[in-house]
Each structure stands twice: as C-alpha cells, then as structure tokens.
Amino acid sequence: MQANTNVDAHKKYLQWLRDAHAMEEQSLKIFEDLDSRIENYPDFRMRVKEYIFATQNQKDKLENSLELNGSSASLLKDVAAKTLAFTQSVSGMPLGDEVVKAVLSAYTFIHMKIGSYSILVAAGKMLNDSQTLLMCEQALTDEVAMAQWLKGNMTAISEEYLLRVLNDDDRADR
C-alpha cells in the first residue's frame, strides 16, 4: 500500500507542476498583451516587462523540473490557458478604464500564482525534490514581489488615470 501511495502522491505533484506550467503560459500571454497596450504609464509598463522576463524564466524552469521528474508539460492545459488569457486580455479593452482593470486583474492573478507556488513548495519538501523546491521558492519570492509592487502602485496608477480623465486627456486609457 505504501508504494501505491508514493506513486499517487508523485502523480499529483506532477499534475500540479503541469498546472503551474500552464499557469505560466497564461501569465505570459496576459502580460505580453498588456505590455503591447499600456503606452502611457511607463513605470507600470517597465514593471510588466520585468515580470514577463521572470515569468518566462519560471516557465522554463518548470519544464526542466517536469523533465527531471520524467514528465512534460500538458499541451492541452497550455492551449486552454493561452485561450483563457486571450479572453481575459481582450475583455478589459472596450471598458475605457483598461489600465485600472489591468492592475486589478494582475493583482488577483498573481495571488493565484502565489497560492500555486506555496502548494508546490510544500509538496517539494514532502517529496524531497530539492531542485524543484528551490525553483518554486524563488518563483514564490518573485510573485510576492510583483504583488507587493502592484499593491504599492495601484492607488497611484488609479489616481493618474482619474486625473487624466478629469483633464480630458485621451491618454488615460492606455
């Protein structure tokens, strides 16, 4: 019975790693689309560019972790995640307050990633996967840093947006 339990636990762990990979695919699509649209908020755009780089790095490391564990990413999950990301990225476009909605959406999405990496850190510890554990701890640190940046800047971005609206500045939305 113990051997089956270990196999089952490892299968769940691999499933969570594949889920995290799909999540990173989704994240790349969301933030790359955002980068292409946010024109008039340079600090936000610069942080988005930095985050895209970190996200690509996380995705690559997840692929490596999956390979080291005898698995690979799920094409179906990756495609579904990219499709969902596309839907999310275009849903805020016609609303007129895209930059504010983007900050809120990013903040929410990153907290889901924080939760996912927290679970993977716990699983990596339990299953003695030190290499993946280190990668997930770093990813968790990166995600927390982005969440803190967004929290610390969402008020300023919202105020800048509203100031532009009050001044009838057509650069408000993007």
Mean pLDDT of the chain: 86
Q: What's the pLDDT tens digit per position in 48-58?
A: 999 999 999 99
User: What pLDDT shows up at residue 172?
Assistant: 73
Q: What is the pLDDT of residue 72?
A: 80
Please tell me the predicted confidence (pLDDT) of residue 81.
43
Q: Is 82 exposed, middle or buried (0-12, 13-18, 19+ CB in 10 A)?
A: middle
pLDDT value for 91? 47
Return d(Cα 35, Cα 62) in angstroms, integer.
23
For residue 86, pLDDT beyond 70: no
At 95, the pLDDT band (50, 70, 90 cuts) reads: low
Q: Please say if the pLDDT value at position 141 is more than 50.
A: yes
pLDDT of residue 70: 86
Token duo for residue 100 = 């504010």
- Name the nearest CA neighbour of 35 among 24, 50, 20, 54: 50
Q: How far apart are alpha carbons 90 and 86 in whole angstroms?
A: 6
How large is the average pLDDT for residues 74-103? 58
Q: Which CATH class is domain 2-166?
A: mainly alpha
Q: What distance in Å separates the CA atoms of residue 54 and residue 69, rounded to the nearest whole number?
A: 22
Pick the range with the lowest mean pLDDT from 1-15, 32-46, 116-130: 1-15
pLDDT digits (tens, 9 = 90+) for 18-33: 999 999 999 999 999 9
- Confidence band for 82, pLDDT divided at 50, 70 and 90: very low
Higher pLDDT, 78 or 119: 119
Query: Is 60 exceeded by the pLDDT of residue 4?
Result: no
